[in-house]
Amino acid sequence: MPRLWARIIKKHRIERQATAECRWEEAEDALTELCREFDIPKPLWLNKHEREFSEFRRTQFLPEHFMEDVNFQRLEIEFLEDDAKSRRSQDPRNQFDGF
């Protein structure tokens, strides 16, 4: 089953991390569950986060995205597919020419 991977970043290092099984449409519920596990408040889910999560399957929440004070630099979440296919950019500037 696909999973949501959450990481708390403090001083440029992963301080805590965890995953929760979920389907794509259940990502916000999985985030709530992971925040409960980390014992941190749930961040505000803004249009910016929705857009990044839809396009890249990942987003990050900074301290200003929380209603309460947090003692870390950011909370990153990423949706992990079960099929293990890597998602590649369709941007031609990122294509390998094979010199």
pTM (predicted TM-score):
0.79
- List Cα–Cα distances, 82 to 25, 53, 77, 91, 94, in angstroms: 15, 17, 16, 24, 25
Q: Map out the domains of the chain as residue ranges.
A: 3-83
What's the pLDDT band for 91 if we cut at 50, 70, 90? confident
- Can you tell me which residue has the tokens 């099984």? 21
Cα(35)–Cα(26) distance, rounded to whole angstroms?
A: 14
Read off the pLDDT of residues 52-79 as tens digits, 9 standing for 90 and up.
999 999 999 999 999 999 999 999 999 9
Cα(67)–Cα(56) distance, rounded to whole angstroms?
A: 25
